[in-house]
């Protein structure tokens, strides 16, 4: 079985969810209600959505710098380049 990282909305922290993994999509349910649907992730492209975790990273000083999946949090190359410029100032 392949292990691939995914994030879920922070409101689901500490709750029990059911995950259905198919060839074309991954669906997450809480109490029988669909709360997230997305394309399957791969080892090269984990299912990391910055909107799911950014609030918790902002609250903890230095957390973003050490976050294991930091490179996958940038929505596009412009954000990555801006971060790199700011990080070295």
Q: What is the pTM of this model?
A: 0.64
pLDDT the model gives residue 19: 93
pLDDT digits (tens, 9 = 90+) for 10-69: 888 899 999 999 999 999 999 999 999 999 988 777 888 877 877 777 777 677 666 667
- Given a cut of 70, whether residue 87 has pLDDT beyond it is no
pLDDT the model gives residue 52: 81
The alpha carbons of the chain give a radius of gyration, in whole angstroms, of 15
DSSP labels, 3-63: ---B---GGGTTS--EEEE-SS-EEEEETTEEEEEEPPP-SSS-B--HHHHHHHHHHSTTH
For 42, list phi and psi in degrees, rounded to 5: -130, 170
pLDDT the model gives residue 27: 95
Burial 56-69 (b: 16+ CB within 10 A, else e): ebeeeeeebeebee
pLDDT the model gives residue 33: 96
């Amino acid at each position: 079985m392949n292990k691939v990282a995914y994030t879920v909305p922070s409101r689901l922290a500490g709750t029990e969810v059911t995950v259905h993994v198919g060839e074309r999509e991954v669906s997450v349910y809480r109490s029988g209600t669909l709360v997230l649907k997305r394309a399957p992730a791969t080892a090269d492209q984990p299912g990391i959505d910055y909107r799911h975790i950014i609030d918790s990273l902002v609250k903890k000083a230095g957390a973003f710098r050490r976050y294991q999946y930091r490179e996958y949090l940038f929505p596009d190359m412009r954000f990555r380049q801006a971060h790199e410029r700011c990080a070295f100032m």
